[in-house]
Amino acid sequence: MEDIYCFAGNPLDRVSERRRDREWIAALLADPTSRILPLYDLKPAVRDMEAPVLEWQSLAAWREPIAAGATCIFLGIAEGGIAHFALDATGAASGSNAIAENVDVRTLAPLVPSGEAAILAEARSLIDWHARHGFCAQCGTRTNVSSAGWTRRCPNCRASHYPRSDPVTIMLVVRGERALLGRNKRRPGRRFSCLAGFMEPGMKLSVEFVDGRAVNVLFPDILELKIADTAPPVHQQQDSTLKAARLENGVEIMVPQFVKTGDVIRLDPQTMKYVERVKADAKARHA
């Protein structure tokens, strides 16, 4: 399978070694060929929803909010030497947004030309990070944007704070013409997606195989499931005495005596062993 994931393939050279060169960044900001993408509430400006195109704009319209401290990020240099910036334009009155719509990045990503989605991911995740990390984690002082939008610096304790990235695994399992997909029941309609999960430092993962093919990465997570059926509690019994229970997914496990039908419990998916009760069923509690 040769398809490139839509958020991959960023065509910009991020020139990370020159982000701290304030004179160079200032010259790029003053260059009339430089382009900027305003995002409003993390949604970029877009023209023509039939065949969406990102609304890259001239920097001239945005000088005022940039000077006033709006988060402005140097994204990189495109082929041909044109500098690209992103701006958190939330609440800004400037700019030319009259012909544009603002569209959620996840909706837009599969629709825009290859490479633009990757630039969008870069712009959105950085602006989102700045919006959520305004204060120093060491001393609580309000921090300032530095390194052309790639760092926040604390004016009090001089700590530097760097954008957080969340490592995940995303996998598409294919066999011939068929693919194994998941469906999150919170999503509307018949929307399916690849299997995915967040990773944490030091995490031990194991891979599940079916017919010799990896179909899932197992996370040492805790599952929450409802008890579909179990015998009523026997009060004379010690709570350490276990009894059989059937979960909503049909799996049978052993649970303590006090667990009732309708309760939500946590279990370790690796061992399928009961860990704790999350909440007792409301009806059972009020019976």
User: Among the candidate windows 2-10, 112-120, 129-137, 208-216, which touches Zn ion by CB under 5 A?
Assistant: 129-137
Which of residues 33, 107, 114, 156 is near Zn ion by CB under 5 A? 156
Can residue 144 be called a binding residue for Zn ion (CB under 5 A)? no
Least Cβ distance, residue 105 to Zn ion (angstroms): 31
Residue closer to Zn ion by CB (options 159, 195) is 159
On the 0-12 / 13-18 / 19+ scale of CB atoms within 10 A, 37 is: buried
User: Among the candidate windows 22-30, 35-43, 141-149, 207-215, which touches Zn ion by CB under 5 A?
Assistant: 141-149
Which of residues 16, 33, 107, 138 is near Zn ion by CB under 5 A? 138
Closest of 221, 263, 268, 270 to residue 246, by C-alpha: 263
Residue closer to Zn ion by CB (options 4, 157) is 157
Residue closer to Zn ion by CB (options 58, 160) is 160
Can residue 205 be called a binding residue for Zn ion (CB under 5 A)? no
Measured distance CA(63)–CA(170) in Å, rounded: 39
User: Among the candidate windows 26-34, 115-123, 140-148, 262-270, which touches Zn ion by CB under 5 A?
Assistant: 140-148
Residue closer to Zn ion by CB (options 144, 193) is 144
Which of residues 154, 225, 245, 267 is near Zn ion by CB under 5 A? 154
Can residue 136 be called a binding residue for Zn ion (CB under 5 A)? yes
Measured distance CA(102)–CA(55) in Å, rounded: 10
Can residue 231 be called a binding residue for Zn ion (CB under 5 A)? no
DSSP string, 98-144: TT-EE--HHHHTTTSPTTHHHHHHHHHHHHHHHHH--B-TTT-PBPE
Helix (H, G, I), strand (E, B) or coil at 192: coil
Measured distance CA(277)–CA(254) in Å, rounded: 13
Can residue 157 be called a binding residue for Zn ion (CB under 5 A)? yes
Residues 6+ apart with CB under 8 A from 21: none
Helix (H, G, I), strand (E, B) or coil at 237: coil
Residue closer to Zn ion by CB (options 157, 214) is 157
Closest of 26, 37, 280 to residue 148, by C-alpha: 26
- The angle formed by the CA atoms of residues 6, 10 and 11, to the nearest 5 degrees, is 130
Residue closer to Zn ion by CB (options 157, 207) is 157
Can residue 241 be called a binding residue for Zn ion (CB under 5 A)? no
Residue closer to Zn ion by CB (options 47, 158) is 158
Residue closer to Zn ion by CB (options 134, 182) is 134
Q: Give 276's strand partners.
A: 266
Which of residues 8, 49, 60, 139 is near Zn ion by CB under 5 A? 139
Which residue bears the tokens 């996840």?
A: 106
Can residue 210 be called a binding residue for Zn ion (CB under 5 A)? no
Least Cβ distance, residue 156 to Zn ion (angstroms): 5
Helices (H), 111-231: 116-132
Helix H or strand E encompassing 151? strand 151-153
User: Among the candidate windows 39-47, 134-142, 213-221, 257-265, which touches Zn ion by CB under 5 A?
Assistant: 134-142
- Both tokens assigned to 36: 């900027």
Interacting residue ranges for Zn ion, rule: CB under 5 A: 136, 138-139, 141, 154, 156-157, 159
